[in-house]
Amino acid sequence: MNELLAGIANQVLLKGQFFVLVYFLAVNGWYMLLLVSSLLEMWRHMLLIADESRHLLLSSTLSPTISILAPAFNEESTIEASLRALLALQYPSLEIIVISDGSKDRTVEVLIERFALVPVKTIYEQRIKTKSVRTLYRSSTYPALVVVDKDNGGKADALNVGLSFAKGELVCAMDADTLIEADGLQRMVRPFLYATDVVATGGTIRVVNGSEVKFGRVVKTRVPTNALAGMQVVEYLRAFLFGRLGWNRLGGNIIISGAFGLFRRESVLAAGGYLHDTVGEDMELVLRLKRLSYERGGPGTIAFVPDPVAWTEVPESLKVLGRQRDRWHRGLADVLWRHRRMLLNPRYGVTGLVVFPYYTFIELLSPVIEAIGLISLAVGLIFRIVDWNFAVLFYLTAYGLGTALTAFTLILEDLSFHRYETFRDRALLFWWALVENLGYRQMTVYWRLRGLWKFLRGKKDWGVMERKGFTPLAARSAGS
């Protein structure tokens, strides 16, 4: 009997390993397709933007008006630098709306002091139900600046309040601590000028950790020496440059980073704005816009601009990073569940038949498969069911191809925008690309599994995101 059980266990483990191996090959094969697609897309994009004169857009009275919505919650250490950078953005018709989402620190006081804010009344239409607005401020020194102080209701609620006050044809949703490149909006608005069916655009978000920041601008790009931040640089490059850019060509973008995205205001309002009861509100909105375009008609293209348009600070502690990844995965699961009707539904075209299955079976379930693979490998080795040669082959196949793909993403960055210029940065980038498979990736599997588990248990908390800040106020005050 024992021998029979051992035989079955043996077969299950071996076949399971092969299944996992085949899954990894299929996933990496798809990634390879995305890489080729992103190479072609990048080639076309670089030809199009070479010597492009964006000053025409800058001085044109026909340029679409943009309202920037910057929700802030307890951002007193970074809000001034971020806002000064926003006010210096190169765009002709710009309105900036900072929404303090019931901040408990001195965020609003800092804004009042530094930007000469005065309370005002205004007329706005509340098309989406939100928490109460306490006070509306306008700056007496910067006419384009509006600050809304409201009761706490979460990021989605803050963005919905911003949508009600916005006057622009386009709205730019961002995190208050995101650093936007001076010409970032000019780059992001391009797809809206090129086609009428564009409903939203996203751009490449880079990691700011380790880089030199002055007056809210990244003046020198450096790869961080901190291992966690360094490996996230590689991750971000991979996600944006071959993930989203690759999907751009295949017509299947459904993610726009919550850190920085540009939307057609009327479409977002018509769709009902951001959802409150999800932790993946940015992806949910994009997928809803896409879905509604199939159901009701109207603009539905989600365009991705590969230009590096914004910078964000990534967590440097395992605890915070774990919480972030857990939340991202819960968000993904929640959004896919809410829109499950789209899965393999021909009514939703490429999104239903290709993109949705990809996000379900590859993005959502990959940590499950990866965990099964790793655990059964360990069990197999302990009980000598799997031999070491197979284990090494498994590991190298599973992760080696991924590393090679990452390496090609780094080449793609180098051939296009080459922001990391020094030998030190290149060496560090490669180093982080190699070592991310030795522990870091396995930790992300654990965090994502935790997120999945929490989703199944119905947890919807955000967790606390701690930030170091680029230019602390104390340092700025001392320097000024």
Interface positions with other proteins (CB under 8 A): 47-48, 50-53, 56, 60-62, 120-123, 125, 138, 193-196, 393, 396-397, 400-401, 403-404, 407-408, 410-411, 414-415, 418, 421, 423, 426, 430
Closer residue to other proteins (CB): 151 or 197: 197
CB of residue 303 vs other proteins: minimum separation in angstroms?
Answer: 12
Strands 212-214 and 217-220, sheet pairing: antiparallel
Q: How far is CA 351 from the centre of its chain?
A: 19
CA-CA distance, 326 to 239, in Å (whole number)? 17
CB of residue 121 vs other proteins: minimum separation in angstroms?
Answer: 5
CA-CA distance, 155 to 131, in Å (whole number)? 11
Closer residue to other proteins (CB): 145 or 410: 410
Closer residue to other proteins (CB): 194 or 383: 194
Closer residue to other proteins (CB): 196 or 480: 196
CB of residue 115 vs other proteins: minimum separation in angstroms?
Answer: 16
Q: How far is CA 90 from the centre of its chain?
A: 23
In sign, the C-alpha dihedral spanning 22, 23, 24, 27 is: positive
The answer for residues whose C-beta is within 8 angstroms of residue 431's C-beta and 6 or more apart is 230
CB of residue 430 vs other proteins: minimum separation in angstroms?
Answer: 7
Sheet holding 133-139, edge to edge: 117-119, 133-139, 145-150, 94-101, 66-72, 170-174, 260-264, 198-207, 301-312, 179-180
CA-CA distance, 288 to 379, in Å (whole number)? 43
CB of residue 118 vs other proteins: minimum separation in angstroms?
Answer: 9
Closer residue to other proteins (CB): 405 or 449: 405
Closer residue to other proteins (CB): 5 or 50: 50
CB of residue 57 vs other proteins: minimum separation in angstroms?
Answer: 8
Please provide the size of the chain in residues. Answer: 480
Query: Are 416 and 204 spatial neighbours (Cβ–Cβ below 8 Å)?
Result: no
